[in-house]
Amino acid sequence: MRVFFYTLGCKSNQYETGRLREKFFALGFAPADKAADAAVIVINTCCVTHSAERKSRNILRRFQKIYPRAKIFVCGCYANIADLASIIPGVSPIKQEQKLKPQEWGLPGFSRAASGRNYRVREFLKIQEGCDRFCGYCIVPYARPQIYSEPPEKILATAENLLRRGVQEIVLTGINLGLYNYTGQTLAAILRQLARIKIPRLRLSSLEPDLLTDQLLETLAENPGIARHLHIPLQSGSDTILKAMRRRYTAADYRRLIRRARKMLGEDSGLTTDIIAGFPGETEKTFTETLEFIREIGFSDLHIFPYSRRPRTAAARLPISCPVPLVKQFVSRLENLRQGLKQDFLKKHLFRPLAVLVENNRGAGFSSEYIQVKLQDKSSAGKFYRVQATAIQDDFILAKSAPE
């Protein structure tokens, strides 16, 4: 029997789909390259924005219509908050506590194990679950309210297994990674333990500004095997909007954090962020404050999201809103700024050496700073190369082998 997986949303969902693949294969299922070949379809959903929820719903309906003979299981955040049994009758919703236990889904068991998972050279390792911070715009605490941190011994064992499988870069992820705390052991402690097992490259996913402590920054600075790239969500550069969003920092707090981070990790480190455009109460004045703050910080890239009203959140109860045409204008202006910042960051690295992990047979990969690079020389997937950036092509850098 064959199983097909379809994943929407964040790195945690991608990691969990990988775990599900392993568990299904252990139960005897074989992978299906196409949904049409599968007897079982697993759809891992997202609901972080209205458009993500709509996309999840549309995918479910489309798969149900096109593949009526397949058994369709639905997990992820949308399955956690929605009454799918009434919205889309016929699909089988799986709640978070059962998500990684397919043996409890009512699947038939098989005695013969199928071929194992094919590992990529860069893999996610989820070490933390849940968020209870209730930012004004965010539905995640309702979809994943239970806070949980994986035991250090399990994390280390999983990382060592990935290394044996040929994985060269491990990306630590979580629903709110900075909340990791296992009986007093923080994220900084886990990073120090992981550094001792000689992972070629270790990368962190998103970290909330107020959870990026000096101790954590010191750990990053002391371990060159940890990528020189941080993703720190800003959401807005206006203190007025940050307060309305129920964020736990001011623009000045964020500025001080970035100054410390760059001092410790290097001025040329990659720094990316999330920005929400058109939060209720956003005006030209507050938006201009955000644009000016983004320019001041000089991010290497932006992830831009138009505000999406989510039920049950504090922002959904606000009596004010930002007109849709104005939100679209804000998004367009942010995108123009993003393109300029991205090009400025790439130009800083022209004719400089970069350490690139090639991820495919086309010579494409990422540097430590999270610059996407295309090698013009012959290369092999799964290997690191010391290269020199020679040109910029769209959002890529073209590079050749660096002279020794």
Residue in 220, 308, 310 with CA at minimum distance from that of residue 266? 220
CA 21 to the chain's CA centroid: 19
403: confidence class by pLDDT, cuts 50, 70, 90: low
244/235 Cα distance (integer angstroms): 11
Cα Dmax for the chain: 65
CATH class of residue range 119-227: alpha beta
| pLDDT recorded at residue 256 | 98
- The residue that leads in pLDDT, 100 or 133, is 133
More confident residue, 253 or 401: 253
Q: Give domain 231-348's CATH number out of 3.30.750.200, 1.10.357.140, 3.20.20.70, 3.30.420.240.
A: 3.30.750.200
Higher pLDDT, 223 or 107: 223
What pLDDT score was predicted for residue 118? Answer: 62
When the pLDDT of each residue in the chain is averaged and rounded to a whole number, the result is: 93
Which pLDDT score is estimated for 85? 78
Residue 112 has pLDDT above 80, yes or no: no
Q: What pLDDT, on a 0 to 100 scale, did the predictor assign at position 244?
A: 97
3-state secondary structure of 392: strand
The answer to whether residues 195 and 170 touch, using CB atoms and an 8 Å cutoff, is no
The angle formed by the CA atoms of residues 297, 49 and 248, to the nearest 5 degrees, is 45
- When pLDDT is cut at 50, 70 and 90, the band that residue 113 belongs to is very low
Over the stretch 6-28, which tens digit does the pLDDT of each residue have? Answer: 999 999 999 999 999 988 988 88
The answer to whether 2-104 and 231-348 have equal CATH topology is no
Query: And the tokens for 107?
Result: 């699947």
Residue 102, amino acid: P
The fold for domain 353-401 equals: OB fold (Dihydrolipoamide Acetyltransferase, E2P) (2.40.50)
45 and 56 Cβ atoms separated by less than 8 Å: yes
Structure tokens at 260: 């410390």
Q: Taking the domains of the chain in order of start, what are their residue ranges?
A: 2-104, 119-227, 231-348, 353-401
pLDDT tens-digit profile of 37-53? Answer: 999 999 999 999 989 99
pLDDT at 226: 97
- Mean pLDDT (whole number) for 57-64: 94
Q: How crowded is residue 372: how many other Cβ atoms within 10 Å of its Cβ?
A: 16
* pLDDT tens figures, 207-223: 999 999 999 999 999 99
pLDDT 10s digits, 164-202: 999 999 999 999 999 999 999 999 999 999 999 999 999
Average pLDDT over residues 149-156: 97
Per CATH, which fold does 2-104 belong to? Rossmann fold (3.40.50)
Query: In the predicted model, is pLDDT for residue 89 greater than 50?
Result: yes
191 DSSP 8-state letter: H
> What's the pLDDT at 117?
54
Torsion angles phi and psi, residue 17, rounded to 5: -65, -40
> Is the entire prediction scored with pTM above 0.85?
yes
